């Protein structure tokens, strides 16, 4: 363990630290896993990527003696980097399902973001930092954005100010990083913050000997709007996993042979979009509703390979639900999701099963705790659970014709209808259900979804712009982030959706696959329009 290229990693098995591992390896280091408290005390440098919830993490640290070893290690000013929960655990306590006692090295209580002032919780996305003192590992990042995903945060106070090296503004000013001597911890995810994050990790692993003060003047920063590249993936008729893209969810070529449209290889395309500046990459296994995803080993392999080179968040969806296979073996949706997380996903996305759960919940008004949304968010946190909505417009002359929330359309329907409601569908748009997008969004937020991916079948693949009416309705109805999807065909469509609705992110597929507009041009256009983005 005296080898200069070894990093000791404290992974207590509560979730996905694959991306931290990938980032460390990408920088040319080897990983030694902590097995006993002694491994902590003997570490040359230690990275602690806290994952999961505060209380179970403290239980593990207390029950294994690792908490005590950590305290000794940190008090002896040994090289340490805590990430996310790995920062929060250093404080005295957390309100997450608590109060729960922490390691108590830094004065203060970790509390939940206040969503009452219009800020969506979880805080998901890219923010710039206010550096408050020489932080060493943040010296090189200037005004550039880093990726956050959390619902709880520590706040600056007189008692802890000697620790604070940067803060960030999201409704409140919260602690983005701490530093004392060789001990560092960051609330954001360097392993998911693209090249900026990799440079933070590199500075920790290879500290500079000279203390050059490189502080740049920093502008005030808001949460950046995200641009997400989406890869619809399925097996083609030859049995290969390909990226495809439909028109209004039809992915077959209109030509005679009626083949599945093949737009490239998923891992390659994900890598390319990361290089081009995508803030996230989503994979949707669009036939997951009929093929059991754990039987779909290629998809897990795609995730494993993609996460080796893509250092922004990865979402995967398709087929997440309880399942009994042909041998009568039962898999819970949590097991399915866990396999995706272990393979490199940061978030999972639930489509059809969320519709069933929401219908049931609205009927009974009881949260059973058994739905996939509840099970997965309880273990991995709300921020890891996205609900993908696939609604189709149903035109109306009179809004009182339906029990669902309808809206007055900006552009009337084909027969002059002035209203529409948005009917949720399942199984890739094949079946309409008696629930609207509005009712679904509210219900899944209550069940514990952390984000909504809002598609629109009518607009999908049309390149005529997002459905602003729908996106406005849903993003005003919920307090969790909403990702606008379906219909992007020009850079103006992105500025349109961000200026006219409260969407936090915009997702597109066809426009990028067909190489019509590079992600970079979308970002440059948004910047020109005064919309904050990560460059
Ligand atoms: O129901 O939990 O198995 O999840 C299935 C998932 O697969 C859902 O998220 C559903 O949206 C997706 N899906 C199912 N069938 C299709 C299909 O196209 N036949 N893809 C499908 C949906 C929608 C968007 C698309 C945008 C942007 N893809 O993600 O990428 O509409 O496209 P554009 O920019 O080209 O307009 P479950």
Give me the domain span that covers residue 275. 226-389+429-528
Q: Mind listing the pLDDT tens digit for each residue in 397-411?
A: 999 989 999 999 999
Distance 286 CA to ligand 1 centre (A): 6
Do 248 and 170 reside in the same domain of the chain?
Answer: no
Q: Which residues pair with 324 in a beta bridge?
A: 330
pLDDT the model gives residue 1: 44
Kindly give, in sequence order, each residue whose CB lies less than 8 Å from that of residue 257, ignoring residues fewer than 6 positions away.
none
Ranges of residues in the chain with a pLDDT under 70 are 1-2, 14-15, 209-220, 255-256, 289, 291-297
Instruction: Return d(Cα 83, Cα 186) in angstroms, integer.
Output: 5
Do 179 and 242 reside in the same domain of the chain?
Answer: no
Instruction: Return d(Cα 441, Cα 447) in angstroms, integer.
Output: 10
Instruction: Return d(Cα 532, Cα 223) in angstroms, integer.
Output: 7
Contact 146, 127 (CB under 8 A): yes
Residue 329, Cβ density class (10 Å: 0-12 exposed, 13-18 middle, ≥19 buried) = exposed
Do 487 and 370 reside in the same domain of the chain?
Answer: yes
Do 184 and 255 reside in the same domain of the chain?
Answer: no
Do 191 and 292 reside in the same domain of the chain?
Answer: no
| Tokens, residue 227 | 């641009």
Q: The dihedral of CA 301, 303, 304, 305: what is its sign?
A: positive
Please check whether residue 482 lies inside any domain of the structure: yes
Do 145 and 30 reside in the same domain of the chain?
Answer: yes
Please check whether residue 210 lies inside any domain of the structure: no
The answer to whether 256 is a known catalytic residue is no
- Give me the count of residues in the chain: 535
Final residue of a domain: which of 172, 205, 238?
Answer: 205
Q: How many CB atoms lie within 10 A of CB 488?
A: 29
pLDDT the model gives residue 141: 84
Mutate to test the pocket of ligand 1, among 252, 283, 294, 388 (most ligand atoms within 8 A of CB): 388
The answer to whether 424 is a known catalytic residue is no
Final residue of a domain: which of 156, 171, 205?
Answer: 205
Instruction: Return d(Cα 168, Cα 129) in angstroms, integer.
Output: 5
Catalytic option among 96, 191, 279, 467: 191
Final residue of a domain: which of 205, 234, 266?
Answer: 205
Give the CB-side neighbour count of residue 254, counting CA atoms within 13 A.
4
Q: For the CA atoms of the chain, what is the radius of gyration?
A: 23
CATH code at 153?
Answer: 3.40.50.880
Please check whether residue 328 lies inside any domain of the structure: yes
| Tokens, residue 11 | 């992974």
Question: Structurally, how many domains does the chain consist of?
Answer: 2
Check the annotation: does 319 bind a ligand. yes
Using the 8-state DSSP alphabet, how is residue 485 labeled? E
Atom of ligand 1 nearest to the CA of 230: 30
CA 286 to chain centroid: 19
Catalytic option among 39, 92, 96, 232: 232
pLDDT the model gives residue 252: 80
Instruction: Return d(Cα 484, Cα 228) in angstroms, integer.
Output: 10
Q: Mind listing the pLDDT tens digit for each residue in 178-219?
A: 999 999 999 999 999 999 999 999 999 987 754 454 555 556
Please check whether residue 535 lies inside any domain of the structure: no
Atom of ligand 1 nearest to the CA of 353: 2
Instruction: Return d(Cα 387, Cα 350) in angstroms, integer.
Output: 5
pLDDT the model gives residue 216: 52
Do 54 and 186 reside in the same domain of the chain?
Answer: yes
- Distance in Å from the first CA to the final CA of the chain: 38
pLDDT the model gives residue 391: 98
The answer to whether 460 is a known catalytic residue is no
Please check whether residue 395 lies inside any domain of the structure: no
Q: How many CB atoms lie within 10 A of CB 64?
A: 15
What 3-state class would DSSP assign to 109?
Answer: strand
Check the annotation: does 71 bind a ligand. no
Check the annotation: does 271 bind a ligand. no
Please check whether residue 394 lies inside any domain of the structure: no
Contact 335, 363 (CB under 8 A): no
pLDDT the model gives residue 297: 65
Do 137 and 276 reside in the same domain of the chain?
Answer: no
CATH code at 351?
Answer: 3.20.20.70
Q: What angle do CA 512, 382, 341 make, to 5 degrees?
A: 65
Please check whether residue 190 lies inside any domain of the structure: yes
Please check whether residue 26 lies inside any domain of the structure: yes
Query: ipTM score of the complex?
Result: 0.98
| Tokens, residue 418 | 């002035």
Do 181 and 248 reside in the same domain of the chain?
Answer: no
For ligand 1, whether the C-beta of 245 sits within 6 Å is: yes
Taking alpha carbons only, the member of 471, 275, 435, 244 closest to residue 352 is 435
- Nearest-CA residue for ligand 1 atom 31 is 486
Do 233 and 201 reside in the same domain of the chain?
Answer: no
Mutate to test the pocket of ligand 1, among 245, 428, 471 (most ligand atoms within 8 A of CB): 428
Do 139 and 252 reside in the same domain of the chain?
Answer: no
Taking alpha carbons only, the member of 71, 45, 47, 46 closest to residue 58 is 71
Instruction: Return d(Cα 463, Cα 232) in angstroms, integer.
Output: 16
The answer to whether 168 is a known catalytic residue is no
Do 28 and 78 reside in the same domain of the chain?
Answer: yes
Contact 144, 127 (CB under 8 A): no
Instruction: Return d(Cα 409, Cα 187) in angstroms, integer.
Output: 42
């Amino acid at each position: 363990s005296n080898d200069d290229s070894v990093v000791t990693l404290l992974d207590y098995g509560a979730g996905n630290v694959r991306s931290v591992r990938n980032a460390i390896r990408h920088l040319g280091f080897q990983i030694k896993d902590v097995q006993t408290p002694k491994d902590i005390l003997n570490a040359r440098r230690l990275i602690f990527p806290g994952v999961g919830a505060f209380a179970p993490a403290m239980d593990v640290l207390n029950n294994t003696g690792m908490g005590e070893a950590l305290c000794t290690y940190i008090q002896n000013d040994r090289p340490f980097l805590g990430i996310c929960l790995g920062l929060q655990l250093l404080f005295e306590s957390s309100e997450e399902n608590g109060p729960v006692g922490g390691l108590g090295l830094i004065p203060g209580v970790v509390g939940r973001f206040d969503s009452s002032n219009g800020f969506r919780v979880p805080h998901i996305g890219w923010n710039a930092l206010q550096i408050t003192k020489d932080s060493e590992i943040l010296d090189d990042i200037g005004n550039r954005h880093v990726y956050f995903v959390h619902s709880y945060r520590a706040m600056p106070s007189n008692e802890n100010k000697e620790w604070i090296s940067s803060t960030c503004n999201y409704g409140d000013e919260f602690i983005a990083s701490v530093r004392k001597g060789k001990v560092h911890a960051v609330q954001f995810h360097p392993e998911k913050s693209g090249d900026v994050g990799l440079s933070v990790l590199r500075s920790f692993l290879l500290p500079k000997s000279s203390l050059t003060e490189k502080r740049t003047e920093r502008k005030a920063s808001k949460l950046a709007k995200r641009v997400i590249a989406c890869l619809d993936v399925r097996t083609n008729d030859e049995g290969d996993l390909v990226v495809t893209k439909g028109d209004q969810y039809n992915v077959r070529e209109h030509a005679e042979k009626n083949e599945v449209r093949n737009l490239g290889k998923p891992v390659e395309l994900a890598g390319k979009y990361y290089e081009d500046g995508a803030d996230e990459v989503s994979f949707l296994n669009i036939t997951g509703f009929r093929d059991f995803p754990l039987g779909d080993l290629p998809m897990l392999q795609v995730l494993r390979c993609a996460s080796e080179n893509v250092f922004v968040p990865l979402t995967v969806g398709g087929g997440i639900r309880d399942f009994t296979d042909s041998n009568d073996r039962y898999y819970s949706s949590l097991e399915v999701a866990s396999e995706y997380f272990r393979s490199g996903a940061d978030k999972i996305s639930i489509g059809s099963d969320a519709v069933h759960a929401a219908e049931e919940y609205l009927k009974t008004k009881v949260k059973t705790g058994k739905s996939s949304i509840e099970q997965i968010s309880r273990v991995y946190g709300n921020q890891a659970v996205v609900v993908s909505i696939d609604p189709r417009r149903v035109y109306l002359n009179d809004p009182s014709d339906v029990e669902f929330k309808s809206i007055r359309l900006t552009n009337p329907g084909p027969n002059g209808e002035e209203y529409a409601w948005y009917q949720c569908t399942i199984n890739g748009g094949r079946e309409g259900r008696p629930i609207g997008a509005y009712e679904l969004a509210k219900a899944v937020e209550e069940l514990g979804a952390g984000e909504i991916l809002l598609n629109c079948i009518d607009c999908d693949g049309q390149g005529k712009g997002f459905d602003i009416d729908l996106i406005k309705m849903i993003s005003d109805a919920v307090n969790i982030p909403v990702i606008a999807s379906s219909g992007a065909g020009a850079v103006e469509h992105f500025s349109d959706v961000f200026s006219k609705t409260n969407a936090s992110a915009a997702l597109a597929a066809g426009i990028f696959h067909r190489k019509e507009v590079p992600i970079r041009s979308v970002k440059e256009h948004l910047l020109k329009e005064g919309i904050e983005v990560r460059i």
